[in-house]
Structure 1
Amino acid sequence: MDINIFLLTFIPLFVAMDIIGTTPIFIGFTQGISSFQRKRLIIEACLAAFIVAIAFLFGGKAVLRFLGITINDFRIAGGMVLLTLSIYDILSTASDSRRNPHTNVGVVPLGIPLIMGPAALTTILILVDKYGYIPTIISMLSNFIIVVLVLVNAKWVAKVLGEGGTKAFAKIASLFLAAYAVMMIREGINIIIENFKG
């Protein structure tokens, strides 16, 4: 696979999943538990996120067709959702704003929606439409490998970046996600206009 195609699929998904920004939340959830329990949580979270991602990857378009929604409709709506989420993350001051400590933290909220949330799911569907299944699947697998490595070494990553560095990285990722969302909206509108003219 062309390295440029790989980067064009890998980077948007990496930004959308924002595993570095999720790391402090993961550390907060796993304080005081054993190494075995922490590894089990990582497996549960990543497995749940991966299953949802695969289901959306192969079933997303069928659902859209059934509902009579075109990929450009979804591109515009998804872009608006991504833009809203990214703006919320940029303006949010609470590092644990997406926490939900009263649930099973392995599957929810660590797996869904912190690892594989609306931003990542929307990005996957757009990437499949634009670049095809193989590049998207390769990028998904690459990102999940990074997710596992980061979560297994979460304390070390947080120590290297520091609390301020982790927050700054999350804000920068949200800013790039906002720009990607605007691009999605622009592309969707342009294609609809071109189809209308044709």
Structure 2
Amino acid sequence: MLEFFSLKETLTASMILFAVIDIIGSVPIIVGLKKKFGKIEAERAAIVAGILMIAFLFIGNTILKLIGVDVNSFAIAGAIVIFVIALEMILGIEIQKNTESKSASIVPIAFPLIAGAGTLTTTLSLRAEYHDINIIIGIIINTIFVYLVLKSANWLEQKLGDGTLQVLQKVFGIILLAISIKLFTANFAQLFSTYVKF
């Protein structure tokens, strides 16, 4: 597996996951949860989120085979999900509502805040473009970063401020929008060439 390692692919996968997870944009939510529950178990939340993403990277493909869906089709579906997430970030709207919970570690931080439907869909969609080893390293990098943000959420909110957080959210939203379009067109072209023979 190591022979497929690519620094470029690792960095790209890391940036895509970073934009989808949007842990910086979630700082106000995390601070609110910390005030509500008193403490956030950063280590537990980060580890569970990382395990969920890596597990879905492999199990997700098996599930797809069982239901007869190819990776390219799933990647297109993933691109649409990423597109919606990007619109939420850019326009400041909320399509999927966050549910209340009695815990502030696994639920709702690890799932669905970090490893939610969008992140898991993106993780599997990346398999259509990148090698597994590069995606796994990207997941690990993001898991470490998520842990650091969870540990220093209050400090980050004080230093960045609401205005800066909103700007960062919109910037990453635009990046996600471009990524979703690229993912859609690349996989649609492959599907088109597979099913349409001239």
User: Is the structural similarity TM-score above 0.5?
Assistant: yes
CA shift digits 1:75-127 (9 cap, x unpaired):
11111111122212322357xx8543344232222111111122221221122
Specify the alignment match of 2:193 in structure 1.
194
Which of 11, 19, 22 pairs up with 2:23?
19
Task: Show the 5 A alignment for 1:10-159.
Answer: 10-31=14-35, 37-38=39-40, 41-92=41-92, 98-159=97-158
Match for 1:172: what amino acid? V
Instruction: Give the secondary-structure state (helix, strand or coil) at the position aligned to 1:104.
Output: coil
Separation of aligned partners in 2, 1:197 and 1:109: 44
> Deviation at 1:149?
0.9
- Relative to its length, the structure with more helix (as a share) is 1
Question: How large is the Cα RMSD of the aligned pairs?
Answer: 2.0
Q: Does 1:4 align with 2:3?
A: no
1:182 aligns with 2:186: no
Distance 1:82 1:32, change over 3 A: closer
Kindly state the Cα deviation for residue 3 of structure 1 after the two structures are TM-superposed.
Answer: 2.4
Unaligned regions of 5+ residues in structure 1, if any? none
Q: What is the distance in 2 between the residues matched to 1:129 and 1:192?
A: 12
Aligned length: 192
2:52 is paired with a residue whose SS is helix
TM-score (norm 2): 0.87
Residues 17 and 32 from structure 1, CA distance in 2 versus in 1: closer, same or farther, beyond 3 angstroms? closer
What is the CA–CA distance in structure 1 between the aligned matches of 2:102 and 2:186, rounded to whole Å? 38
Cα offsets for 1:48-91 (capped at 9, x unmatched): 21221122011011100111001111011111111122212322
Q: Which amino acid aligns with 2:83?
A: L
TM-score computed with the length of structure 1 as normaliser: 0.87
User: 1:33 Cα deviation (Å)?
Assistant: 5.7
Structure 2: runs of 5+ lacking an equivalent: none
- Which stretches of structure 1, 4 residues or longer, exceed 4 Å deviation after superposition? none
Percent identity between the two aligned chains? 30
Q: Give secondary structure in 2 for the equivalent of 1:49.
A: helix
Amino acid at match of 1:2: S
Does structure 1 conserve the Cα–Cα contact (< 8 Å) formed by 2:18 and 2:142?
Answer: yes
